[in-house]
Amino acid sequence: MPTLFIQRLSQTRITHTSEWIDPGTASMTALPLMGRVSAGRPLEAIEDPNWIEVPEQLAQNAQFALRVRGDSMTEDQIEDGDLILIQPRPNVSDGEVVVALIDGNEATLKRFFRESNHIRLQPAKTGMAPLRYRLDQVEVIGTVTAIMRVVTSGQHDLDD
């Protein structure tokens, strides 16, 4: 039976503890699954609303979920196919993991840094270059509050 592998994010880092949640016994609630976000080069933001069951304790800090596509955030333990829970918040601190909209139509998942005359969106993968944009090109949609991964039995070695 599948379980959920959960990691929570504080403002600037992923907690070192992870949780295993059995969706069959946990209190669950529905959040809108708004589509996909690129963990790589920004891709066109297309909303494809659906609903997904998430643990109530995580839904308290999020308004919607997105499915991750790509591997630029693997050093933050965000993998291709993971679900990320998002709390809309346009004002963020340096180092937070955000969903950012570029030029009003392309979205990406990266760490956010405001620098002197531009925004740096930093991947969490060695060897990948940061993305840099003018201040007026980037709109923060929200911050990642949790990462969820569906895991089948025998895969519980993820947090070792």
110 is catalytic: yes
**What gap in Å lies between CA 126 and CA 116, rounded to an integer?**
24
Residues 6+ away with beta carbon under 8 Å from 38: 69, 70, 107, 108, 109
Residues 6+ away with beta carbon under 8 Å from 154: none
Closest by CA to 83, choosing from 145, 141, 158, 128, is: 145
Residues 6+ away with beta carbon under 8 Å from 61: 85, 87, 145, 146
Instruction: Identify the active-site residue in 18, 27, 38, 72.
Output: 72
Tokens 């920004």 identify what position?
Answer: 42
Q: Give me 115's structure tokens.
A: 């620098």
125 is catalytic: no
**What gap in Å lies between CA 131 and CA 133, rounded to an integer?**
7
Amino acid letter for position 74: T
Instruction: Identify the active-site residue in 110, 116, 125, 153.
Output: 110
Question: What are the residue numbers of the active site?
Answer: 72, 110
